[in-house]
Structure 1
Amino acid sequence: MDFFSEQDQARRSTKLLVALFSIAVIVLIAITNFLVAMTLWLVNEQIAGNYQAYQGALDTLVYQETLGLTDYISLQRFSLIALAVTGVIACAVLFKWIQLSGGGKRVAEQLGGKRIHPNTSDDNEQRIVNVVEEMALASGMPVPSVYLLDKEIGINAFAAGSTPADAVIGVTKGCLEQFNREQLQGVVAHEFSHILNGDMRLNIRLVAILHGILFIGLIGELLLRGSAVRSYRSNRNSKNTQIAVLGVAFLVIGGLGRFFGNWIKSAVSRQREYLADASAVQFTRNPQGISDALKIIGGYGPSATVQSTSAAEMSHLFFGQAVNHINGLFSTHPPLASRIKRIEPNWDGNFIVREPRKAVHEATHSAKETLFNSHHSPLNPVVGAAILTAETLANGTHHTVEQVPGGLSLSLSQHVHEPFSAIAIIFNMFLSEDVDIREKQFGFIQQSKFAGIILQIQQLEKNIDILDNVKRLTLIELTVPALKCMSKGQYSIFYKTLLLLIRADKKFELFEWCLYQVLRHYLDPEFGKTKLSRSVHKKVNAVEKEFQLVLSLLAHYGVNKLDEKQRAFNRGAYAAGFYTLALLEEQQFSIDSFVDAVNQLANCYPLLKPKLLKALRDCATHDNAVNAEELEILSAVAAVMDSPVPLIGDLK
């Protein structure tokens, strides 16, 4: 699956969405003009003998003699109504956009979701946390927070957010109760594909835009309620009748808006679900998992229905059809049978029947079998080590460090799920080997007032020191969900302390920058500091200087001999389509200029990003080996570009 092509397709779908929305608004303006004219004409007929009493209120809208319907349609009134309708819709869209700007967690909270803490003691919750970690690391994406809709017995799940960094995965209670681990893998992989395909940002825009269209109907409801209250309190009903008629008119407009909105939403959403199903099979290498998940939904009484009051406007975010529609035209998801047939062509047509509130009890399997089966699992040993350790902890089984594959200690794997320990792990990674500087850094940590943090750092120190930089990056990614559990105040202190640790030696080293960028990019959105990249650069020539700088730095860190550096640089430059670029000398760039260059690369269009990442990969692998520094650079650049980490085995 070419996820970058799909991101570009999602971007073009956004343009289609805006075009359809514009057409819908124009149609609503025309209908609004007609209904306002009709309303004024009816009101004029009703109060024909009482113009003097209403002259002050109606002076600009009606004339002093009997008029026909067409007399109420004029260019001036059309312009005023167009301006009013557009303004109301724009304000409603802006309000909704601001409301959802907090990232995926805002969507999850609006749906009634509660964050599952990574150190949860509930077996079902721990299982979904482990599956999400597994899929994130296997796909080279940041580990998202997981939210549980604990009031929903329907089987469903969703991914929400503006970028991979602020994405969350949400699951219903029914999903946890009814699915085994293999089926959860399929569902979570489906949601991860929405993240990678660029569907999340499209879906959030869809929610905001449709809210604007539907807002007109809400105005009609308010007018009708207001007129009813006024009629109850007063005998003067003529004015109330006007308000009621206008309310009905707005309700009609709102109903038409709802029609257009739901049609647009379903048209944009349905095909993306087929793509996500196919991507899930690619991720897990196990079509049976997602196929069985869909069969269970088909044979389950509550199906995928979500009862939340926000379910209707968010229905296109979900794994299954969250809101039932009598007319299939407005369904946001293809029929279950159609989805299953695409995954399993020989399906016999029988769903798997399940009853509500009866959790699935999996047959006992070896965690090692589940995670490292070559047919079913896409995981590498480092990822598998982290997930196996988490499963081991959840089951209360004890193993020695040597028994955990990949070299990650049981102690570290346990501590990544504890917010306090996660902070200690991160601080530990920035400690200097110089005794004097290290003592200074401990002073900064002491000032942070995280009580007992120094003792925790010292207890974890030996386990962290033995890790190479590749495993340190994996460890950082695993700490992200726990670090997101900090309060804003704690994060502010954490962030300031981190900068003090980095600046303690008065040098800003590349490894420190890489770790810092990964952390900042993954954590800032959680605490309201999101800065989205913009698709600005369409052609590679637009970022020639920036790419030259990043590629030069990568070449210098990859090998020692000058001729080898030149060959590595040339291979990357040719892969990107540059044939006259020169390798920059080390004194020609700084960390600051490197940071600026990477931020510019982040503003490339989706289809340009893979070309640049593959070129960087080619530079790093020119000698058939990738060292820790090269992988750090690739990981940090990919994080800033909101792209999957360019794993060597995956980019071809």
Structure 2
Amino acid sequence: MNFFEHQEQAQRKTVYLIFLFAIAIIGMILAIYAVVAIVVYIEVQTQQSLYSPEILAIVAFNVLLIVGLGSGTKILQLRGGGKVVASSLGARLVHPGTYDKLERQLLNVVEEMAIASGVSVPQVYIMDREAGINAFAAGFTVNDAIIGVTKGCLTELERDELQGVIAHEFSHIIYGDMRLNLYLMGVIQGILLIHIIGRQILHMVSNGPRVNRKKQGLVIIASLAVLAIGYIGFICGRMIKSAISRQREFLADASAVQLTRNPLGLSNALRKIGDLRDGSQIRTPTAEEASHLFFGEAISSFNSRLFATHPSLTERIERLENLPTGTLQGEAPPPAQERTAALESPETPGISGLQGGLQGGLQSRLQETTIHVDLESIVEEIGNTDSAHLNYAQSLLAQLPERLKTALKDDRGCRAIIYGLFLNSQNREIRQKQIAHLKATEPSEILNRLWQIVVCFEHLNPRYRLPLIDLTIPVLRHLSTDCYQHLSQQLQTLINTGGKLSLSEYTLQAVLFHRLAPYFHPHHPSKPPSTHETWNDCLVVLSGLAKVGYQDKQQAIEAFQSGLQRLRGASNKTLPNQLSPVNLSSIRRSLKRLINTTPKVKQRIVDACAHTVLYDREVNLKQAELLRTIIILLDCPIPPFLETLE
């Protein structure tokens, strides 16, 4: 099952979830109606039937209103992304510049996973008061996701074990479980509101002035009934939540092992939960509503089978030990200590330091070399991260110059990195104009940081540019709106100084602002474009890919048509015999509309893009970066596929 099929499955589960909760709400309406009808029947003392369409309509309207308001309010609160969930759980944001050894290890593991998975580096939170071993992922999209861990997760786990836990959480990020989990929180909150209102009415009547004892007794009985019905509905909601959650945990465990190729890391983490006095328990009062988000069972249940949000530790460990050999293809990684030492060693093959590995002809060779690629593998690569991608991410982080690593720890350094990436390395005159502009408009603190790192960009492996953008995101998310707008304006000025937007500048700028958009320009999903609109936007995107990839005009048209044939409905259309007029701005506008298409349509779009780029079964760095950028802008997690082919 590939990424898009997982996304389709998540959408089907959302529909199924709505169906189950609709049944629960209908049951609550009928139960509350029965109570109200009986109370009215006793009060009026009529011989008429208990069935009253008017009362049923009033009850249904009020129940739906209460549940709708409760769920809607909660979901609106959660629109702020994973940071809202982390705050409600009392978690603390880990600053990227932290000097704490355990926190730095955690950040390093998260960065490795993000680069390997091709997603934005999530913010990381720690629950300082939680001694148990647990972790969670929360957010609506890959760009606003966060990772949270307990203090026990840091202090009790070895690096390989922590890596397994974080890989498990990244699976939830990639496969769309987070959005489903947040909707679960919202709907259950709406049902719980019925119980809360019943309790409030009971409290007011019990403590209010004494009036007609008979009427008061009836109201108390009705309040108790509503309270009980609301609680039963809440219990049903918890059962539904737990059943859905349990199904996803086995998949996340298997995906984590596929990424790390180290089932012992994850299974040992589960064993430590079983051995620890606190286990995976979360003590904060708000843990119940978020219990399905966690890596392990967060709260105790009086009936573990019905209300457990996770399979038992024993069952999860047995599944890990009995995974089919196909899941564990490739060599098992060395122990964490050996791997870390190897990555830091200048003698490591392929990691020979800044001067040897990056300067020694690699940069020019990458620009010229084309690589043969299996065309059908591109779609399968999306969301399908394995140990080769993880090894590449670890190597990349080890190769980064220390000056860049230091700059990544604060906002001034990250802004300097962004400016450095956009300085023209080909034209000396343009570069001098760009530097003169920065000198006139940037504070000395930013300029000093830029001068410290600017030499690094002269020797930087071109493949590291996009990952370096991703590594700045956790810090840049915290810029003020004014600073963000200033950064945006500065980049536009640097680009304009060169006369036109280059392909390299486009890929960097597009990915940077797409990653930051949820924090400065929140985008709420809108209605999917029509088939006609989707077709026209695909004409633009595929034309752009063909123009970039092929110098020969006829070959570009053939590649363009090859991509179009992969789109739904192409067999019923006359394919254009020339490329559409296109520029980078029109590609950006088309992608903004295509991001709202369904997973199944996105799969066809990505497949069409791959067939256009790889029409000749070869790809160079320029083509690969544009293809990867387009896939990122469609909100699809794409691992660094080109880097792992050599």
- TM-score bucket (shorter structure): 0.7 to 0.9
1:274: Cα distance to partner? 1.1
Amino acid at match of 1:531: H
- 8 A Cα contact 1:552 1:583, kept in partner: no
- 8 A Cα contact 2:10 2:176, kept in partner: yes
CA gap 1:334/1:566 in 2 versus in 1, 3 angstroms: same
Match of 2:253 among 248, 267, 277: 277
Instruction: Determine the structure 1 residue equivalent to 2:268.
Output: 292
1:583: Cα distance to partner? 6.1
Instruction: Determine the structure 1 residue equivalent to 2:545.
Output: 554
Instruction: Determine the structure 2 residue equivalent to 1:424.
Output: 416
1:648: Cα distance to partner? 3.4
Whether 2:82 is the aligned partner of 1:104: answer yes
- Cα deviations by residue, 1:9-52 (Å, 9 ceiling, x for unpaired): 0000000011111111111110111122334456x3xxxxxxxx
- 8 A Cα contact 1:548 1:583, kept in partner: no
Instruction: Determine the structure 1 residue equivalent to 2:4.
Output: 4
Q: TM-score, normalization: structure 2?
A: 0.84
Structure 2: state its 5+ residue gaps: 325-334, 351-385
Match of 2:340 among 367, 380, 391: 367
Instruction: Determine the structure 2 residue equivalent to 1:392.
Output: none
Partners of 1:516 and 1:532 in 2: CA distance: 21
CA gap 1:295/1:381 in 2 versus in 1, 3 angstroms: closer
Whether 2:464 is the aligned partner of 1:471: answer yes
- 8 A Cα contact 2:116 2:639, kept in partner: no
- 8 A Cα contact 1:550 1:597, kept in partner: yes
Q: TM-score, normalization: structure 1?
A: 0.83
Whether 2:374 is the aligned partner of 1:383: answer no
Secondary structure of residue in 2 paired with 1:478: helix
Cα RMSD over matched residues? Answer: 3.2
1:337: Cα distance to partner? 1.2
Instruction: Determine the structure 2 residue equivalent to 1:13.
Output: 13
Instruction: Determine the structure 2 residue equivalent to 1:617.
Output: 610
Instruction: Determine the structure 2 residue equivalent to 1:172.
Output: 150
Secondary structure of residue in 2 paired with 1:166: coil
Alignment of 1:235-634 (within 5 A): 241=217, 243-327=219-303, 328-345=305-322, 364-369=337-342, 377-379=387-389, 383-388=393-398, 404=399, 408-432=400-424, 441=434, 445=438, 450=443, 452-505=445-498, 507-527=500-520, 529-534=521-526, 536=528, 543-576=534-567, 578=570, 581-582=575-576, 584-585=578-579, 588-634=581-627
Amino acid at match of 1:280: A
- 8 A Cα contact 2:392 2:644, kept in partner: no
User: Bigger shift: 167-176 or 604-613?
Assistant: 604-613
1:516: Cα distance to partner? 1.9
Secondary structure of residue in 2 paired with 1:158: strand
Secondary structure of residue in 2 paired with 1:169: strand
Higher RCO (CA 8 Å, separation ≥ 6 residues): 2
Partners of 2:642 and 2:497 in 1: CA distance: 37
CA gap 1:583/1:499 in 2 versus in 1, 3 angstroms: farther
Alignment of 1:183-262 (within 5 A): 183-230=161-208, 241=217, 243-262=219-238
- 8 A Cα contact 2:414 2:475, kept in partner: yes
Percent identity for Structure 1 against Structure 2: 36
Amino acid at match of 1:569: F
Amino acid at match of 1:340: I
1:366: Cα distance to partner? 4.5
- Cα deviations by residue, 1:167-224 (Å, 9 ceiling, x for unpaired): 1111111111111111111111111111111111111111111111111111122223
Structure 1: state its 5+ residue gaps: 45-62, 348-361, 389-403
Secondary structure of residue in 1 paired with 2:166: helix
Amino acid at match of 1:300: L
1:344: Cα distance to partner? 0.6
Amino acid at match of 2:543: S
CA gap 1:538/1:417 in 2 versus in 1, 3 angstroms: farther
Whether 2:140 is the aligned partner of 1:162: answer yes
1:127: Cα distance to partner? 0.9
Partners of 1:506 and 1:95 in 2: CA distance: 48
1:550: Cα distance to partner? 1.4
Whether 2:58 is the aligned partner of 1:67: answer no
